[in-house]
Amino acid sequence: MAETDGCYGFLCFLGGCTALYFLLSWSWGCWKGFKSYLLSKIWQTDVRKFGQWAVVTGATAGIGLAYALELARRGLDVVLISRSGEKLRSVAKKIESQYGRQTRVIQADFSEGDSIYPAIAQQLKGLEIGVLVNNVGMTYAGKLVHFLDVPDPEQTITKVINCNILSVTQMSRLILPHMVERGKGLIINMSSETASQPQPLITVYSATKIFVTYFSRCLHAEYRSRGITVQCVSPFVVSTNMTYNIPVNPLVVSAASFARDALNTVGYSSFTSGCLTHALQHIALSIIFPAWLRLSPFCLRRMEKLAQNIKPLIEERVAQNYRKED
């Protein structure tokens, strides 16, 4: 009888400890979320403390454009880097007239590989760069396909890796040493919700984005003691050209809204979904759509069927985007 009572008491103690652990974990997660997405709206980090200039890659559209405008609004001069000279000049003019900040433009195609970085380094020379936003990225035209069915794979795969991985590492290599010398700086690297779990049918894109996540978190651990903040931003769906300007709704945010909320989280979190809406979607998907389910044959078949069903819609939106650009 005494042995049974002892065993029962131990199980009660173990259950209580387990419940306490999950309660504390849940409470800590709620507190971090409250700080990152609600408190940060009231007390924002002054990005001007990092330095005079911000550098934004992929700065002429979508999230990159929104970050450039928001950083200028918050008092920074901005270096805009993208492949379209005409769009760069248009964005620069808008920043100068609307916010009265200085701008510089650098025309570069990040999908070309390592040949572009010496010229970028030369044009950045002498600037006090406090913020780097590694935003530029690409996928394979929004298609859900098997690895061997990637359109024009010999070029496309290399371009995606150059744009999504090489750009982040090389731009960080160029700018980080000067931040370390001054003992302050902020690097923001754009990952994706597709990196939170393995995602078949966008295999290369998902894999490149988990590289961005790991690279960012490791870099933050290495250099935070030297005054450098490296933040990884992992958004869900934002209404941009990459998502074919899907209408804003309760689950999809605009690029301007996302950039504003994501910049608010600087100083509160080094790894963020960017906004409360996306953070809640991340939690929900982690519970109802875990990795084992995403990788299962059943789920893969359903995704293949979905890819076929939405193919006409994707092609229509691609054509619409091309017409807008023309």
Burial 66-79 (b: 16+ CB within 10 A, else e): bbbbbbbebebbbb
Ramachandran angles phi, psi of 296, nearest 5°: -75, 150
21 has catalytic annotation: no
Q: What pairs with residue 231 in β-bridges?
A: 188
Bridge partners, residue 228, by sequence:
185
Helix axes 62-73, 255-264, angle to 10 degrees: 50
Q: Collect all residues with Cβ–Cβ distance below 8 Å to 274 and sequence separation of at least 6.
A: 233, 234, 235, 258, 261, 262, 265
Amino acid at 238: V
Task: For the chain, report the end-to-end CA distance as a whole number of angstroms.
Answer: 84
Structure tokens that stand for 57 in this block:
């890659």
Catalytic residue among 37, 205, 223, 268: 205
DSSP-based three-state secondary structure for 56: strand
| CA-based torsion, 233, 239, 240, 243: positive or negative | positive
**103: which 2 tokens?**
């701008």
Q: Within a 10 A sphere around the Cβ of 90, how many other Cβ atoms?
A: 14
Q: 30: buried, middle or exposed (CB in 10 Å: 19+, 13-18, 0-12)?
A: exposed
In Å, what is the CA distance from 3 to each residue of 6, 7, 9, 12?
A: 5, 6, 10, 14
> What's the length of the chain?
326
User: Catalytic residue positions?
Assistant: 205
